[in-house]
Structure 1
Amino acid sequence: MARRTRRARRMVAEINVVPYIDVMLVLLVIFMVTAPMLQQGVEVEPPQASASPLEDTDEPPLLISVNRDGEYFVNQADNPDAPVSLATVTELVAAARRVDPETPVLVKGDRSSNYENVMRAMVAAQQGGAPKVGLVTDSDPSDLGAGSEEAQ
């Protein structure tokens, strides 16, 4: 009778990276598609002004937007696309300042919005505990050295 000898199997010490590359490419496509949708806020057309831009900070600002109809929107609200009252603006500013006292507060008003509505948003922010409130503007086309969005 013939004896069968068993050959010892060798372990392969290679990692097949092709599935990992596929997963990374799928994630890259997903992030490229969703990144433009992450832009929050309400569409407003700020006025133009010549002002020096604020220095960049790591923490995201609390942005209060005022549209042309005088409605207020806050980017850190539960639903940033839903209008909120001035009392809610004050509460949201106070909550953000409790979490991080250095949170910058900016007001972005539509150029056709009533000046009184923008001032009410600034007063509500100050009542919420913001010692400084910045205004977001577009750069003046005649001022060639400024950036695209500025704050005073």
Structure 2
Amino acid sequence: MSEINVVPYIDVMLVLLVIFMVTAPLLYQAVEIDLPQVNAEPLPQDDIEPLIVNVYANGEFTFSVGIANPEPITEEELATAVAAAIERQPETPVMVRGDTEVAYGRVIAVMSQLQRAGVPKVGLMTQPPAGGRNAHARGL
């Protein structure tokens, strides 16, 4: 009489079960994202005034050093002006300030233009909500 010994098969099955139980949580495909809050602390003030590119809802751009006197500029002139400023002071921060009605793709196009101009990092400016914790900190 030949009987099959199933004990080794049960051991293998239990080992595989343990392996699947351990690795299943690691294979979870969803990514949880905690979106940034608008009530962020303002950046520390440096001696260098940032370059600010404003993107308006009607598609126009303005460019300024600091928050004073933004000048209208075309998309083609933007890359040249930013590249010249970055060449003079490579550590100059560059910020994009977009109207809430501007399409996301338009802001990304401006950021891409700035990247081609040689800007290593681009910041996005926000405004704290009215009456919020930092509403008085910066009027951006």
TM-score by length of 1: 0.58
Question: What is the alpha-carbon distance in structure 2 between the residues aligned to residue 92 and residue 83 of structure 1?
Answer: 9
1:100 is aligned, of 82, 89, 110, to: 89
Question: What is the alpha-carbon distance in structure 2 between the residues aligned to residue 135 and residue 149 of structure 1?
Answer: 14
Question: What is the alpha-carbon distance in structure 2 between the residues aligned to residue 141 and residue 96 of structure 1?
Answer: 33
Question: What is the alpha-carbon distance in structure 1 between the residues aligned to residue 138 and residue 89 of structure 2?
Answer: 27
Q: 1:132 to 1:92 in 2, by over 3 A?
A: same
- Give 2:126's aligned amino acid: T
Structure 1 residue aligned with 2:127:
138
Query: Matched residue pairs, number?
Result: 100
Please list the CA deviations of residues 39-71 of structure 1 after superposition, one character each: whole Å capped at 9, or x if unmatched.
Answer: xxxxxxxxx922232111111111100001121
- Give 2:101's aligned amino acid: S
Q: 1:101 to 1:68 in 2, by over 3 A?
A: same
Structure 1 segments, 4+ long, off by >6 Å, are none
Whether the 8 Å CA contact 2:54–2:61 is kept in 1: the answer is yes
- Give 2:85's aligned amino acid: A
Structure 2 residue aligned with 1:125:
114
Whether the 8 Å CA contact 1:64–1:72 is kept in 2: the answer is yes
1:82 is aligned, of 62, 65, 72, to: 72
Whether the 8 Å CA contact 1:109–1:118 is kept in 2: the answer is yes
Question: What is the alpha-carbon distance in structure 1 between the residues aligned to residue 112 and residue 96 of structure 2?
Answer: 11
- Identity within the alignment, %: 36
2:46 is aligned, of 35, 57, 61, to: 57
Question: What is the alpha-carbon distance in structure 2 between the residues aligned to residue 80 and residue 144 of structure 1?
Answer: 28
Question: What is the alpha-carbon distance in structure 1 between the residues aligned to residue 95 and residue 48 of structure 2?
Answer: 13
CA RMSD of aligned residues (A): 2.3
Structure 2 residue aligned with 1:148:
138
- Give 2:71's aligned amino acid: D
Provide structure 1 residue ranges, at least 5 long, that are not aligned to the other structure: 1-47
TM-score by length of 2: 0.62
Please list the CA deviations of residues 103-123 of structure 1 after superposition, one character each: whole Å capped at 9, or x if unmatched.
Answer: 110001011111111111111
- Give 1:84's aligned amino acid: T
Provide structure 2 residue ranges, at least 5 long, that are not aligned to the other structure: 1-36
